[in-house]
Amino acid sequence: MKKKNFNLVILAIVVLSLALLTYFLFVARSKSFNINDALIEVEAGESFYVYLESNRTTGYAWIPDYDESFLVLEKEEYEDAPGNQLGRGGTDFFFFQAPKKGEGILSFLYSRPWEETQSSNKTKFFNVIVQ
């Protein structure tokens, strides 16, 4: 019984360590930007992330469009808002790496990916400068 408890403690420590490592690699070191920002300015080699309010229960999601010559989308995540109510919204997170200098537009269209005609007029544009 003691060995089983010991193994569970070790497993919990490993899981917590991996979670903290992920946090520090992707979030703590990164600059963040949201719907209120118009300019993203970072140094070559830096990471950043964009977070936008969303509601996946409606079928809508933010779809990024960017210049792959100087931006790399490393991962996307969706986080539900707190609570248990049906239809609650959340936040879309987009984690980017800027490996080299460049300048361009990063845009996000809030749409239902399966619809041919986009019924949402929500689009967010960021001017991106990687120095």
Structural domain boundaries of the chain?
31-130
Sign of the alpha-carbon torsion through 32, 35, 39, 40? positive
CATH class of the domain at 31-130: mainly beta
More confident residue, 112 or 98: 98
* pLDDT in the model for residue 45: 95
Average pLDDT rounded to a whole number, residues 117-121: 67
Average pLDDT rounded to a whole number, residues 71-92: 94
pLDDT band at 16 (very low <50, low <70, confident <90, very high): low
Compute how many other C-beta atoms are within 10 angstroms of the C-beta atom of residue 98.
23
- What does the pLDDT look like over 27-79, one tens digit per residue? 445 799 988 889 999 999 999 999 999 999 999 999 999 999 999 999 999 99
Average pLDDT rounded to a whole number, residues 12-39: 66
* pLDDT in the model for residue 107: 97
